[in-house]
Amino acid sequence: MPSIFSVAPQNLEQMRQQVLERFASLIENQTRTQLFASNIGALVHEINAEIADGHEKTIQLLDKINISPTERDEIRQRLQNDMALSGRLEKTLELLLGERKRQWEIGDAHLRRVMLDFNTMAGNLAGTLIEKDLLERQSHVLENIIISHEKVSQWRVFVQQILSNFHAIFPFNFFFIAFAEEHGLGLYLYFLGDYPEEIKVSVRSKLVSEMLVKLELPSDTLIDIEEFDIPAKVSGEAGDNIDLITVRVPELDNLNLAGVLGVAYGSMQKLNAQEASVIRSILAVMVMVVGSSKALSKTLAELEYYSAHDPLTGLHNRRHFNEMLEYEIDRSERHKHEFSILMLDLDDFKDINDTYGHPCGDATLCGVAEILRKNTRKGDLCTRIGGDEFAIILTETPQLGAHDVAEKLRNELRAHTFEAPDGKTFHITTSIGLIAYPHDAQNMSDLMSGVDIGLYRAKSIGKDSVCSVEQVEDKIQSNRLARDHAETLRHALRSDAIVPYFQPIIECATGKVFAHETLARLVDADGRAVSAGAFIETIEKYGLGRELDRVMIQKSLRVLKEHFAAGAAPSKLFINLSAQEIQGRGVLGYAEQMCAELGIPPQSMVFELLERDAIGDMTRMRKFLTEMRRSGFSFALDDFGSGYNSFHYLRELRFEYVKLDGEFVRNILVSKIDYALVKNLSHLCQDLGMLMVAEFVESEEIMDALRAMGVDYAQGFHLGVPRQKLG
For the residues of 495-537, what is the DSSP string, one character each? TT-EEEEEEEEEETTT--EEEEEEEEEEE-TTS-EEEGGGGHH
The number of beta carbons lying within 10 Å of the beta carbon of residue 208 is 20
CA angle 413-416-418, nearest 5°? 115
Measured distance CA(480)–CA(452) in Å, rounded? 14
* Burial state string for 215-227 with b = 16 or more CB within 10 A and e = fewer than 16: bebeeebeeeeee
- Domain positions in the chain are 10-129, 135-307, 318-470, 491-714
pTM tops 0.85, yes or no: no
The CATH superfamily label for domain 318-470 reads Reverse transcriptase/Diguanylate cyclase domain (3.30.70.270)
Task: State the CB neighbour count (10 A cutoff) for residue 144.
Answer: 12
Q: What are phi and psi of 331, to 5 degrees?
A: -65, -45
Residue 511 exposed, middle or buried by CB count within 10 Å (0-12, 13-18, 19+): exposed
The helix/strand/coil state of 464 is coil
Number of neighbouring beta carbons within 10 Å of residue 500: 24
Angle between helices 399-415 and 358-374 (to 10 degrees): 140
CA distance 416 to 367: 9
Query: What fold, for 491-714?
Result: TIM Barrel (3.20.20)
pLDDT at residue 299, rounded to an integer: 66
Which of the residues in the chain have pLDDT under 70?
Answer: 1-13, 20, 23, 55, 62-63, 66, 111, 122-158, 161, 165-166, 168-171, 234-243, 247, 249-301, 470-485, 532-537, 540-543, 579-585, 611-617, 642-646, 648-649
Please determine whether the domains at 135-307 and 491-714 fall in the same fold group of CATH.
no
192 in Cβ contact with 173 (< 8 Å): yes
The angle subtended at Cα 638 by Cα 634 and Cα 642, nearest 5°, is: 155
Running DSSP on this structure, what letter comes out for residue 416? Answer: P
Whole-angstrom distance, CA of residue 556 vs CA of residue 575: 9
Chain-centre distance of CA 120, in angstroms? 59
What dotted CATH number matches 135-307?
A: 3.30.450
Within 10 angstroms of residue 190's Cβ, the number of other Cβ atoms is 23
**Residue 365 has what pLDDT?**
95
**Three-state secondary structure of 642-707:** CCCCHHHHHHHCCCCEEEECHHHHCCCCCCHHHHHHHHHHHHHHHHHCCEEEECCCCCHHHHHHHH
* Torsions phi, psi for 391 (to 5 deg): -135, 145
**CA atoms of 635 and 609, how far apart (whole Å):** 7
**Residue 272 CB neighbours (<10 A):** 13
Rg (CA), the chain: 56
- Tell me the C-alpha to C-alpha distance, in Å, between residue 598 and each of 572, 573, 592: 15, 15, 10
> Measuring CA to CA, how many Å separate 440 from each of 259, 331, 461, 470, 521?
55, 17, 21, 7, 37
Asked whether the beta carbons of 656 and 692 are under 8 A apart, the reply is no
Q: Dihedral through CA 11, CA 17, CA 23, CA 26, nearest 10?
A: -100
Cross-strand bridge partners of residue 530: 522
User: What is the pLDDT at residue 316?
Assistant: 93
Whether the Cβ atoms of residue 225 and residue 189 lie closer than 8 Å to each other:
yes
